[in-house]
Chains A and B, each alone.
Chain A
Amino acid sequence: GAGVSQSPSNKVTEKGKDVELRCDPISGHTALYWYRQSLGQGLEFLIYFQGNSAPDKSGLPSDRFSAERTGGSVSTLTIQRTQQEDSAVYLCASSFYTGVSGEQYFGPGTRLTVT
């Protein structure tokens, strides 16, 4: 079946602009996660959704970052007033089970470059 999809695959934006990144999880997966991966680094947790609610927003690096999920499916990650340090690959994952005991399946990521 279809895996996790993300769009766009690449995004180049000017410093100060807002960007929206989209994630389509695997159908039926209730949990959705956003991670950030800087060049040559591990994955940094940003936020997770259980259904449409986000119980844990602790990983969002600043108030310029926000995320929403509608209909228990698609999620968007919005970065306002982008800065050069926001340049990274943003990865989305989904899982069927609540909690971390469910395997997380990742999308291909969105590579964001802020110039």
Chain B
Amino acid sequence: GENVEQHPSTLSVQEGDSAVIKCTYSDSASNYFPWYKQELGKGPQLIIDIRSNVGEKKDQRIAVTLNKTAKHFSLHITETQPEDSAVYFCAAGSGSARQLTFGSGTQLTVLP
């Protein structure tokens, strides 16, 4: 089955700096890669996703890149703000799998 590894497990940045979270996956059949943000006491919220037919996707301060050859994808947050502090999860899945396999999460702290 699919295995997703996520790094780092914790990340602290100064407000205004950029943050990068990286994930690797094992199943070459995976073709869908969402990122979720989870705030304390809440369910994960989809913030951006990318499908395997593109290499990069951007939405305001958030971008995701995908390298299918190397089987890794990354989340980039620019101009970080304190409200970006949360746990971020990457995930991978394919049309045949029907479920997402999640990484173990990254606790991002943006220091004011």
**Which A residues fall within an 8 A CB radius of B?**
4, 33, 35, 40-45, 48, 50, 55-56, 59, 91, 93, 99-101, 103-109
With an 8 Å Cβ cutoff, the count of chain B residues facing the other chain is 28
- The reply to whether B43 and A103 form a contact with Cβ atoms under 8 Å apart is no
- The reply to whether A42 and B95 form a contact with Cβ atoms under 8 Å apart is no
Nearest CB of B to A89, in Å: 9
Give the distance in Å from the alpha carbon of A100 to the alpha carbon of B6 in the complex.
20
- The reply to whether A107 and B43 form a contact with Cβ atoms under 8 Å apart is yes
- The reply to whether B49 and A91 form a contact with Cβ atoms under 8 Å apart is no
- The reply to whether A108 and B43 form a contact with Cβ atoms under 8 Å apart is yes
**Which B residues fall within an 8 A CB radius of A?**
6, 31-32, 34, 36, 41-46, 49, 51, 89, 91, 93-105
Name the residue on A nearest B90 (C-beta).
Answer: A42
Known contacts A100-B32, A100-B93, A105 near B101 by CB under 8 Å = no
Nearest CB of B to A112, in Å: 15
Contacts of B43 in A (CB 8 A): 4, 91, 93, 106-109
Give the distance in Å from the alpha carbon of A41 to the alpha carbon of B89 in the complex.
10
Known contacts A42-B104, A43-B89, A106 near B45 by CB under 8 Å = yes
Contacts of A108 in B (CB 8 A): 41-43
Contacts of A104 in B (CB 8 A): 34, 46, 100
Name the residue on A nearest B36 (C-beta).
Answer: A106
Give the distance in Å from the alpha carbon of A80 to the alpha carbon of B109 in the complex.
38
Contacts of B31 in A (CB 8 A): 101
Contacts of A59 in B (CB 8 A): 99
Give the distance in Å from the alpha carbon of A91 to the alpha carbon of B89 in the complex.
14
Name the residue on B nearest A102 (C-beta).
Answer: B32
